[in-house]
Chain A
Amino acid sequence: MGRTIVWTGVTALFFSLFEAAILSNLAFLPAVPDLVLLLVVYVSFKNNSMTGATSGFITGLFLDFLSASPVGLNAFTKSLTGFIAGKFSGSFNLDKILIPALMGLAATLFKALVTFVLSLFFGSQILVYGIFDATLWLEVLVNMVCAPMVFALLGLFPNFFCDNPRNDE
């Protein structure tokens, strides 16, 4: 588990910097894809809840330090997302396009829900997605489009992101 978390952390660091320094500056992108969320979902699904929650917590902290959001917001949402995604580990086969896209959809909506619940406890410092806001649905769309690509990319390195890569084959 330790090796998987270390590699997930390294990859999350790269993804979060890539999002902040490059993707967020691309004017043609309707919304910035949450690559770190997709990474957490992939790692959790390929391993278990424990690995998912731990990697979610660490990767969320990276994002918290780069964003204007309150520290702990991403750590909280991603820990919980990782834990839940880990519960589905091995429940179904991961195909190339459909399942990753659906996982991207579900994870983004779950993130929006958790953010909303947290805003009830921590007040207006936490911004929430509006159900009719274009921001939410554009992010859902870009995450759905990016999920198959991110999953395919991470799938090239089973030794880095799976505790038992042989089971994965």
Chain B
Amino acid sequence: MQKRNLPFKFHLESFMLAIYLLFSGILLAFSSGGFIVNFRDIGFSIMSGAQRGVYSVSAFCAGTVTAISELSELKQKYSDLQRKLEDYELLQRSNADIRLENEHLRQLLGFTEQLTVKNIPAEIIGRDPNNLYSAITLNRGARHGIKKNMPVISFQDGNTGLVGKVVQVGRSTCLVMPVYDYQCFVSSRLETTRYDGLINGQGSDELPLVMKYVKKRAREEIKIGDRIMTSGENRNYPGNIPVGLVSGIRGLDYETSLELDVVPVIDFSRLEDVFVLDMESQSGDRE
């Protein structure tokens, strides 16, 4: 039987590439739109479960390494103390550590008691592997009552500050978009002068946030160091949560509004514990 000559040459690898690209494109289209099957939720639940496992293992390894180093340090101290007969020194040091830890925990406890909204404490277990995106992974998920769009705040050095909002929920983890993300917008207000605007991140925790659409007539009243709070509009975020401090004022003659540089009140490089706020519980209580 004579082999039929096709008018084109069939390349399996090119065909497969086209299939992969098509499938990726469809996924992209669905993830930016609203498809009934959320591939992201399913995948995130699976992957974040594994991420939680890796975090636990790494935390265990880090704890073990720290414990070993601490053990050798303690041995050294013990021999020194035995020689010098100064046992109290070690005791005092341990007491100081416990006191510090106790103080920190008391602060956190006091903070959660101050909050009128139901809150879920969470710990940061990972950050976005993609340099262009800045999501933070927390160790609490749907199982703990976390839902999409819940605001996240933190307590640092005696100050409360806005961290961001939940954008993705897995079974036991969730993904938070921090305020410094490109895609994060927070309606805010200057605490003293009450002028409002929209805060947007610049994609990095090292760059200041930008507050846009502030009325130009506010220029004379705004000062460097003024505090900016959430306005609570649209109920995306609770009102009066500190976001940052004004660090720069910009406005050109031909523009109708000012732009303010804002330094976040939260230092994201040393952020460990956060609180996810359940705004629905508050509205439910009011009803």
Interface residues of A (CB under 8 A from B): 13, 16-25, 27, 31-32, 34, 48-50, 53-54, 56-57, 60-76, 79-80, 83, 86, 115, 118, 122-123, 125-129, 135, 138-139
Taking CB atoms, residues of chain B closer than 8 Å to A128 are: 132
Cross-interface CB contact of B131 among A32, A61, A70, cutoff 8 Å: A32
Contact B23 A57 (CB under 8 A): yes
Contact B137 A20 (CB under 8 A): yes
Contact B50 A13 (CB under 8 A): yes
- Bound Cα distance from A125 to B132, whole angstroms: 11
What would 21 A/B residue contacts be, using CB atoms closer than 8 Å? Answer: A19-B129, A25-B126, A31-B131, A32-B131, A50-B16, A57-B20, A61-B43, A63-B129, A66-B126, A66-B129, A68-B128, A68-B134, A71-B39, A72-B24, A72-B25, A74-B130, A75-B20, A75-B27, A122-B32, A129-B132, A138-B131
Contact A72 B31 (CB under 8 A): yes
Within 8 A of A (CB), among B27-42: 27-32, 39-40
- Give the residue name and chain of the A residue nearest to B127 (CB): A24
Contact B17 A18 (CB under 8 A): no
Contact B167 A68 (CB under 8 A): yes
Taking CB atoms, residues of chain A closer than 8 Å to B47 are: 16-17, 62, 65-66
- Give the residue name and chain of the B residue nearest to A53 (CB): B17
Given contacts A18-B54, A72-B28, A122-B29, contact A67 B130 (CB under 8 A): yes
- Give the residue name and chain of the B residue nearest to A125 (CB): B32
Q: Could you tell me the distance in whole angstroms from the C-beta of B125 to the nearest C-beta in chain A? A: 7
Q: Interface of chain B, helix or strand or loop or mixed? A: helix
3 closest A-B pairs (Cβ-Cβ)?
A: A72-B27, A65-B43, A68-B135
* Interface range for B: 35 or more
Taking CB atoms, residues of chain B closer than 8 Å to A48 are: 13
Taking CB atoms, residues of chain A closer than 8 Å to B23 are: 57, 72, 75
Taking CB atoms, residues of chain B closer than 8 Å to A69 are: 130, 132-133
- Give the residue name and chain of the B residue nearest to A22 (CB): B58
Contact A71 B31 (CB under 8 A): yes
Q: Is B26 an interface residue (CB 8 A)?
A: yes
Taking CB atoms, residues of chain A closer than 8 Å to B58 are: 21-22
Taking CB atoms, residues of chain B closer than 8 Å to A27 are: 269
- Bound Cα distance from A129 to B133, whole angstroms: 11
Taking CB atoms, residues of chain A closer than 8 Å to B128 are: 20, 24, 66-68
Taking CB atoms, residues of chain B closer than 8 Å to A66 are: 44, 47-48, 51, 126, 128-129
Q: Could you tell me the distance in whole angstroms from the C-beta of B193 to the nearest C-beta in chain A? A: 32
- Bound Cα distance from A52 to B32, whole angstroms: 27
Q: Could you tell me the distance in whole angstroms from the C-beta of A162 to the nearest C-beta in chain B? A: 17
Residue among A64, A68, A72, A129 with the most chain B CB within 10 A? Answer: A68
Cross-interface CB contact of A17 among B29, B50, B167, B203, cutoff 8 Å: B50
Sample of 8 further A-B pairs with CB below 8 A, known A53-B16, A127-B132: A17-B54, A25-B127, A66-B129, A68-B133, A73-B28, A74-B130, A75-B24, A80-B17
Cross-interface CB contact of A23 among B129, B167, B181, cutoff 8 Å: B129
Taking CB atoms, residues of chain B closer than 8 Å to A62 are: 47
Contact A76 B24 (CB under 8 A): yes
Taking CB atoms, residues of chain A closer than 8 Å to B29 are: 72, 122
- Bound Cα distance from A139 to B130, whole angstroms: 10
Taking CB atoms, residues of chain A closer than 8 Å to B167 are: 68
Contact A76 B28 (CB under 8 A): yes
Taking CB atoms, residues of chain A closer than 8 Å to B127 are: 20, 24-25
Contact A122 B131 (CB under 8 A): no
Contact A32 B17 (CB under 8 A): no
Q: Is B213 an interface residue (CB 8 A)?
A: no
Cross-interface CB contact of B133 among A19, A25, A67, A80, cutoff 8 Å: A67
Within 8 A of A (CB), among B131-147: 131-135, 137
Q: Could you tell me the distance in whole angstroms from the C-beta of B11 to the nearest C-beta in chain A? A: 9
Contact A68 B25 (CB under 8 A): no
Taking CB atoms, residues of chain B closer than 8 Å to A83 are: 13, 17
